[in-house]
Structure 1
Amino acid sequence: MRLTDLPDALGATTTGMVETDFFGHANTTISNLRLRRAFVNLDWGNRELLVGQDWSPMFTVAVFPQGIATTFGAPFQPFARQPQIRFTWKPENLRLIGVTGWQRDAFADIGGTKAQFDSELPILHLHAQYLFGNSLIGVGAQQKWARPNLEADRFGSGAVQGYLRLVGSAVQFRAKATYGSNLADHLMLSGYAFEGEERATATTFEPLYLISTWAEILTTSRPVSVGLLGGYTENLGTSDDLATPEAFNFNARTPDMAYQWRVAPRIEYHTGPLRLGFELEVTSA
C-alpha cells in the first residue's frame, strides 16, 4: 500500500509505503503475515530522506532481475531488507546515496542477528549512480561488523558491487557483479569460519569471500515478452590460508559449495495490470 497525498513535513513532499506478504519468516511460519517494507520518505526535490524498512542498497531497486521467481535471482543477486536511514542527494544526473542500517527478519545471518546486534555498530552503505535517459550505471560499497560472542572482538566484513541498466526501444539489458564477505544475510554463499567446536566460545573468526555476477536481457514488447537470466557465483573461502583448517567450523550458507550457476529463460503474457508467465530455471553447483 503506497501512501500519497500526505501533508508536507519539514518543507518536503511526504510519501510512504507499507508492504506485506504471507510467506512467513521461515519454513515453520509459511503462510504467516510478514512485514516486507514500511517507510516514510521526505523529498525536497534534489535530496530525499527515507526512514523505515526497505530493500538493502545492495539489492539495488533500480537494477535487479525481472523474472517470475520470488527470489529475484538469489543467490547471485543480493537479497535482503533492512531497517535503515537513507539519504539521497540528486544533483543533475547523479544519485549519491548514504545508508546506515540494521539486519533483521527472514534474511538474517545464519544463526540469527545477535552477532550483529552485539557488535554495537550499524551497517554502512555508500552508492553512486549516473543516469542517462532511462539507463544508469552505478557502484556501491558496504561495511558491517559482527561479534559472535561477547568474549571476542568484533570483526569487519565488506562488499563492493557494480551494476548497469541499459534501456532501448525494444530491449533492456541489466547486469550486476558483487565481491565481498559474510553476505549470508543477503542469501548469498558466504558467512564466516570460527576456530573451535563452539561459536559461543570461539575468539578467532575469518569471513568467507565470494564473487557473484548475473546478467539479464528482456524484451519490452506487448502483449508477449521474453527474457533470459544467467548467473554465476563462486565461494572464494577466507582471504588467508588457515594454518590449521581442520580446527575451524563454519557459520555460513553452504560453505562446502565451490560454485553455482543458473540459466533461466522465460516467456510472459501481459494483459492490463496482469502478467502471466512461465519460467524455467536450470541451476547447477
Structure 2
Amino acid sequence: MYFSSSVNWPTGSICSVLCLSLLTSTLKAQTPPPSNAGPAAATAVAPATKPVEAPAPFVKIYGFVRNDFSWDSRQTVNLREASVDLWPKDQQLDAAGKDINAVANLNMLGINSRLGVSFNGPDAWGAKTSGILEMEWFGPSDAAVGGVRLRHAWAKLDWAKTQLAFGQYWHPLFVPECFPGVLNFNTGIPFQPFNRSPQIRMTNMIGKDMYLITAVIAQRDFTSSGINGSSSEYVRNSSIPNIHAQLQLKKSNVLAGVAVDYKVIRPRLSTGAGATLAASDALVGSSAIMGYLKLVGRKTTMKLEAVSGSNMTDHVMLGGYLAYGTPAAPTVESSYKPTEITSVWGEIHGNGKTVVPGLFVGYCKNGGTSANAIAAYGRGIGLTGRTGLDNLIRVAPRLEFIAGKFKIGAEYEYTAAAFGTSTTDSKVINTETIVNSRLLFLTVFSF
C-alpha cells in the first residue's frame, strides 16, 4: 500500500503566498546590482534554485508472454480447455465397466499471456492519483477461448492515511500479497478464493502497520450459480451489494489478516408458469470468514490461509446453495440455504533470485446444509446418486529457474477428489477417491 503526504491550505492563504512570492521575485529580478558589486554579487541576487515541480505523469506498459505445456493422467473438471484444472472427473463406466474418463490429456496454450498499463496523474482533492488497466487472452467463456478479457480496471486516490479505489480488481478475499505461488494458472483454486469484481474499496491506516479495509462489491468476471446458469443477475436482483471488512497487519517480513464477507442473491424472480406463475422474493444470504499469515525469512517464505464460508461458487470454490419446498407445494422452490465449506492451504517457497523451489498443500471439505432439499445449485454438489464431492486434497511441488526477465518452471500437481453418494443435504457418503496427476512445464518472458 502506498500512501502520500499532503497539506490542505485555505484558498485565501494560497493566493496570498503566491502573490507575495511573485512580487518578491519580480522586484529582485528588476533591481540592478550595486555599482561597486562584481559578478559574484550579481549572481547572488538571482534565485538560488528552481521551483520544485510536481512529479510528471507517467504511463508504463507491462505484461508477459506465457506458454503452458501440461499433461493430465485423466479427464478433469476445468476452465478454458483445461488451462485451469479444478479436480479430476468422476468415473464414467461403459457397458463393459471401462472408465471413459480414465484418458490422459495433453495441452499447449498461450492464452494466459497478459498485457497491462499502469499510470498516474495530477493530484485530485489533495490525493495522489494512479491506476491500472489490464487484459489477457483467457477469454470471457469456454466458447471464447483466445478472446480478450478485462482483468483489472482500477483507479486509486491516496491520501496520507486513506486510500479510496474504484473499478474492477481482486475481490478482497483474494489478497495479492498472500496467495499460492503455484505455477499452474489455477492459482490454488478451489482451495483459494479467486475472484475479480467491480467494487468501491476504502483502506484506512488505523495504527502503526495496521489497516482496515472495507468494500462494497458487485459481480462481473466471476459470478454465482442459479437457475439460468452462472450469472451476475442473482446478486443484481437482490439490490444488495456484497459487503466486506478486513483487518490487516503489514510489516516488512510479516503479513497477517482476518476478514468477514457477506453477500445476498435472489435466485429467481418467479416460480411456475401459466396459471401457476407466481413472483418469488426468496433470497439467499451467505457469509465467509478468512484468516491468513505470511512470514518472510532470510531464505524461505511461508504462507497459510483458512476459509470457512457458504455459497462460494463466485470464488471458483466447491459448494453453492439448495432449494426447498413447502408441505403445501413440495416441488416449488420457496426458500434457499447455502452449503458450507471449509478450506485450508499452506505453502513454502525459496527466496532465491535464480532457482526457486516451492511446495503447495491444500484441503477443502464440503459441509452441506439442511436436509430435504429439492434442488441444488453450485459446483460439485448434488442431492441424489453419485453427484457430489466430500473433500479435495492437493499436493504440488515446483521448481523455477529465472534469468533476468525470462523464467522456466516445472510442477507436479497431485489432486485427489472424494466422490460419493449425495444426500438431500448435499453431504456425501460412501466415498471413493479419484486421482489426477498433472505435469506442467511453462515459459514466461516478462516485460
**Shorter chain as normaliser: what TM range?**
over 0.9
Contact 1:94 1:129 in 2 (8 A): yes
1:232-277 residue CA offsets vs partner (Å, 9 max, x unmatched)? 0000001xx32x34xx211110111110010000000011122211
- What is the SS of the residue equivalent to 2:124? coil
1:9-57 residue CA offsets vs partner (Å, 9 max, x unmatched)? 1111111000100011221110000001101011112110110000000
Distance 1:102 1:5, change over 3 A: closer
For the pair 1:224 / 2:355, whether they are aligned, the reply is: yes
Match of 1:273 in 2: 405
- What is the SS of the residue equivalent to 2:122? coil
- What is the SS of the residue equivalent to 2:248? strand
**C-alpha RMSD of matched pairs (Å):** 1.4
- What is the SS of the residue equivalent to 1:28? helix
1:42-97 residue CA offsets vs partner (Å, 9 max, x unmatched)? 11121101100000001111210111111110000000001000000023210110
TM-score of the superposed pair, with normalisation by structure 1? 0.94
User: Which consecutive unaligned segments of at least 5 residues does structure 2 have?
Assistant: 1-115, 270-279, 326-330, 382-387, 418-447
Q: Counterparts in 2 of 1:1-285, with a 5 A limit?
A: 1-90=116-205, 91-105=207-221, 107-110=222-225, 111=229, 112-150=231-269, 151-195=280-324, 202-238=333-369, 241-242=370-371, 244-245=372-373, 248-255=374-381, 256-285=388-417
2: distance between equivalents of 1:118 and 1:87?
A: 25
1:194-242 residue CA offsets vs partner (Å, 9 max, x unmatched)? 136xxx962111101000010000001131110000000000001xx32
Aligned partner letter, 1:276: I
Distance 1:53 1:5, change over 3 A: closer
Contact 1:173 1:215 in 2 (8 A): yes
Aligned partner letter, 1:272: G
Aligned partner letter, 1:19: E
2: distance between equivalents of 1:272 and 1:57?
A: 31
2: distance between equivalents of 1:273 and 1:125?
A: 36
Contact 2:120 2:131 in 1 (8 A): no
1: distance between equivalents of 2:156 and 2:351?
A: 30
- What is the SS of the residue equivalent to 1:37? strand
2: distance between equivalents of 1:267 and 1:181?
A: 34
2: distance between equivalents of 1:278 and 1:25?
A: 27
- Look at both structures and tell me which one has the larger radius of gyration over its CA atoms: 2
Q: Percent identity?
A: 37
- What is the SS of the residue equivalent to 1:280? strand
Distance 1:25 1:173, change over 3 A: same
1: distance between equivalents of 2:160 and 2:181?
A: 28
Contact 1:75 1:188 in 2 (8 A): yes
| 4+ runs deviating over 4 angstroms | none
Distance 1:2 1:94, change over 3 A: farther
- What is the SS of the residue equivalent to 1:258? strand
- What is the SS of the residue equivalent to 2:238? coil
TM-score of the superposed pair, with normalisation by structure 2? 0.60
Contact 1:170 1:220 in 2 (8 A): yes
Contact 2:356 2:400 in 1 (8 A): yes
Aligned partner letter, 2:391: Y
1: distance between equivalents of 2:246 and 2:397?
A: 30
Shift, 1:143, TM fit: 0.3
1: distance between equivalents of 2:252 and 2:140?
A: 38
User: Which consecutive unaligned segments of at least 5 residues does structure 1 have?
Assistant: none
1:113-157 residue CA offsets vs partner (Å, 9 max, x unmatched)? 211111100000000011232311100010000111221322210
1:149-177 residue CA offsets vs partner (Å, 9 max, x unmatched)? 22132221000000010001110001110
